[in-house]
Amino acid sequence: MTTVFHPNEIKSDAMITSRSVGELYIDHQGWLQTWLRRKLGCSDHAADLTQDTFVQLMSGMHPANLSEPRAYITVIAKRVLFNFWRRRDLENAYLEALAALPEDVAPSMEDRALVLEALEQIDRALAAIPVKAKQVFLLNQLQELTYSEIAAQLLMPVITVRRYMKLAICACCTAAE
């Protein structure tokens, strides 16, 4: 689901003008795509992530005068790249789990796509909360530990475990909306 970048499409509230984004794109798109291709080993993924990087640049508030545009673009590209790797790792883990299932109980391709989408939403939601809250949620949901067991393992009061679970569940529910 990569959005194609068009230099003349820019949010009006961004500090970088459409002209400056267009100039950044013209000046640095080739370099960025080459850099990403070396990281990924795939020109198709590199092209997609290059576009995603410039979409991120357009969609946020960024300083109008960049003294080091490649460094700034690299920071954004690394975030896009890490998200790509995280999604890929999540998908691979799911596919490995599916491969271990007998063929007659394996979900359909449509069901797999729906589950992957849900897992990505949960992953994004959990990435936005504190690490301890994520840890509590995963211990409860994946290892089926009780709140008391989690509290003992993480050396925290049960009430804190409850608060973290509430935070994690609310984050997941918000992501699903």
- Residues 89-94: contacts with CB under 8 Å, at least 24 apart: 90/116, 90/119, 90/120, 90/123, 91/116, 91/119, 94/119
What is the structure's pLDDT at 7? 40
Among residues 80, 106, 132, the one where a domain terminates is 106
Asked if residue 116 and residue 176 are part of one domain, the reply reads yes
pLDDT in tens, 68-91: 888 888 998 998 998 889 888 888
Among residues 55, 71, 106, the one where a domain terminates is 106
Asked if residue 135 and residue 49 are part of one domain, the reply reads no
Asked if residue 101 and residue 113 are part of one domain, the reply reads no
Mean pLDDT of 59-74: 74
pLDDT band at 33 (very low <50, low <70, confident <90, very high): very high
Cβ distance 154 to 132 under 8 Å? yes
pLDDT in tens, 112-154: 888 888 888 888 888 889 989 988 998 888 888 899 999 999 9
Q: Is the pLDDT of residue 165 over 50?
A: yes
Can you give the residue range of the structural domain that contains 140?
Answer: 109-177
What's the domain count of the chain? 2
